[in-house]
Copies of this chain bind each other. A is one copy, B any other.
Amino acid sequence: MTDRRSFLKTAAAASAAAAATPLLGSCQTGKDKYGIGLDKSLQSKLIVEPGNAVPITGTFLDEISTDIPHQNWGEAEWDRDFQYMKKFGIDTVIIIRCGLRKWMTYPSPYLLKKGYYYPSVDLVDMFCRLAEKYGMSLYIGLYDSDEYWYTGVYNNEIEINRFIIDELWERYGHYKSFKGWYLSYEISRRSKGAIEGYQKLGQQCKELSKSKEYPNGYPTFISPIIEGIKGVSAQSAQLRRADRPDIMEHMRDWDEIFEGIHEFVDACAFQDGYNDYDEIEDYISVNKMLADKWGIHSWTNCESFDRDMPIKFLPIKFDKLRMKLEAAKRCGVEKAITFEFSHFISPQSAYLQAGHLYDRYLEYFGKKI
């Protein structure tokens, strides 16, 4: 039998033990198994003006990916990622495409009839719900056959998306978070049928989504590539190409494209990773000038992966991201989105460089971690 004295002793011993290092372990002291910890009071000593850049407020959701390996997240991890996005300042998420080749993000009756692959989860539904939960606007990208990259022809693209747009509206139109359309061809320069494709699909999207709040239909946007020095295939071992159009050709081409599509496309976010860092500002300013001319909103797609490394692709170096966002600010760009948060910036990314990029970004913009 335990008398009071020994009972007290036991209680005290347990308490003491609970407070001691061996019991409470590393998570208490912040030391790892080597006895080494992180001194969080150490701040990086910035020698540039902090926050003098366009903040990133949108991101693609690249869940059907062409060249970025999948992270295999379930709904719990996606929920957490939306929390990380929110803290980062993201208010807009864009499903990059709702189908790619034979892969789908949702069980499309139209694509199933073609024998395409049934997904295990309805990702469009999940992203609509998560965007609603965290108060973000969701853009849904169209189906991408991947054929036009090789053929230059968009006929099939247009034909299929006529059905896809209707399906998307019918299935997900009721979600309040669904706020816009992403026309997902990554065209560059004039491609046969591209202008017509943007017109037709943009028009259909807008017709369908007209409402009191959006009398002309939901906004649409595009995010084209630039045929720059880094415009090589992800499958290529090379990082640069020798031939490419110069900036004047780029300007003439896009003047013509914007002329053709400006009635059906509300914003344009050129991908900013195809040029050398000292060319980027020139390109952004030309793009801004053209967009202003044709009444299109100037966004930038600030790529958060590094195009200069033999591993294709890991998170970008913070200073590269910063320089691109600073250039965007100097040019008066309205909004920066990124490709993309979940692999290249998220603290839970499989690429651990991403979480440090997240921290550097918050540090630069003076946000608390």
Contact = CB atoms under 8 A, between A and B. Distances in A.
- Prevailing SS type, chain A contact patch: loop
A123 B355 CA distance: 20
Interface string A11-33: 11011111100011111101011
Nearest to A234: B310
A364 to B, nearest CB: 7
Interface in A52-109: 67-77, 79-80, 83-84, 87, 102-103, 107
Contacts of A238: 235
A120 interface: yes
A329 interface: no
Nearest to A361: B72
Nearest to A322: B120
Contact of A27 (B27, B322, B357): B27
A315 B69 contact: yes
Contacts of A74: 42-44, 356, 359-360, 363
A229 interface: no
Given A23-B28, A120-B364, A309-B67, A36 B80 contact: yes
B17 A19 contact: yes
Contacts of A159: none
A236 B48 CA distance: 36
Given A12-B7, A14-B16, A74-B359, A84 B34 contact: yes
A117 B318 CA distance: 13
A180 interface: no
9 contacts: A25-B27, A26-B27, A27-B27, A32-B347, A43-B75, A46-B121, A69-B314, A70-B318, A119-B319
